[in-house]
Every structure is written in C-alpha cells, then in structure tokens.
C-alpha cells in the first residue's frame, strides 16, 4: 500500500466552484506539504504544516486554503476555482530534523474550465 495517498487522482471542475483535494499518509510524519506542478516551473509550495496546530503559507498560497484534520491528513481547498489553478497537485510528507527526504503522493490532476 502507498505511504502517501491523494484523492481524487483526476478532477474536472468549473470556474467558481469549491473543490477539496485530500491527502493521507501512513508514514507517521509530522510535516506535510502541498505543491503544484506546472510545466517549466517545477514544483511550487502552496502550504505546509509542521503539525496539526502549525500551518504556514508557502510561495503561492493566494486562492488556496488548507486544513490539517489529524497528523495523517492534510486537505487543500480551492474556495473558488479559476482556470489558472489548472495544474498537477502533489502532497508530500517529511519526518523531523534529520529525516530531510520528502515522500510524495501520486498527484491530483486538476482541470478548471
């Protein structure tokens, strides 16, 4: 079974709709991240969380919100989707200091029409 799972894997939505992307992990890691991937831009950090009560904005947080429901769950919401939020979204986890490697989910491909 995958250590980091994301649902849905693919989603098509319309401009103005609210959408939630979910991430779950079984690695027991404290740190969780949401990135978006766009061609030619690499991965850009949207939000990150060091634990359930510690949530921080990344480089491109505008238009997004997150919720850390439990250590194992970290959700990303688009309150009112717009077409330039069409991208591939990845969730990642990392352990504490000394465990710098990040572990990525399989990604969610989002298309906003």
Partner 1 sequence: AQSVAQPEDQVNVAEGNPLTVKCTYSVSGNPYLFWYVQYPNRGLQFLLKYITGDNLVKGSYGFEAEFNKSQTSFHLKKPSALVSDSALYFCAVSSLIGGYQKVTFGTGTKLQVIP
- Nearer to partner 1 by Cβ, of 45 and 111: the residue is 45
Assign residue 52 a region (left: φ > 0; alpha: ψ between -120 and 50; beta: otherwise): alpha
Exactly one of 7, 13, 27, 45 binds partner 1 (CB under 8 A); which one? Answer: 45
Any contact of residue 87 with partner 1 (CB under 8 A)?
no
Q: The tokens of 94 are what? A: 């990392």
- Contact indicator for 46, 76 with CB cutoff of 8 Å: yes
Any contact of residue 12 with partner 1 (CB under 8 A)?
no
Any contact of residue 104 with partner 1 (CB under 8 A)?
yes
Site for partner 1 in 16-35 (CB under 8 A): 35
* 28 phi and psi angles, rounded to 5 deg: 75, 20
- Contact indicator for 60, 43 with CB cutoff of 8 Å: no
- Nearer to partner 1 by Cβ, of 36 and 112: the residue is 36
Q: The tokens of 69 are what? A: 């429901």
Which residues of the shown chain bind partner 1 in the complex (CB under 8 A)?
A: 4, 35, 40-45, 50, 90, 92, 97, 100-107
């Amino acid at each position: 079974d995958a250590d980091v799972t994301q649902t849905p894997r693919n989603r098509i939505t319309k401009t103005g709709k609210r959408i939630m992307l979910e991430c779950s992990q079984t690695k027991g890691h404290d740190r969780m991240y949401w990135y978006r991937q766009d061609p030619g831009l690499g991965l850009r950090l949207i939000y990150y969380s060091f634990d359930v009560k510690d949530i921080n904005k990344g480089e491109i947080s505008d238009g997004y919100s997150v919720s850390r429901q439990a250590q194992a769950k970290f959700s990303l919401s688009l309150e009112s989707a717009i077409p330039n939020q069409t991208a591939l979204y990845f969730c990642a986890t990392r352990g504490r200091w000394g465990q710098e490697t990040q572990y990525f989910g399989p990604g969610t491909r989002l298309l906003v029409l």
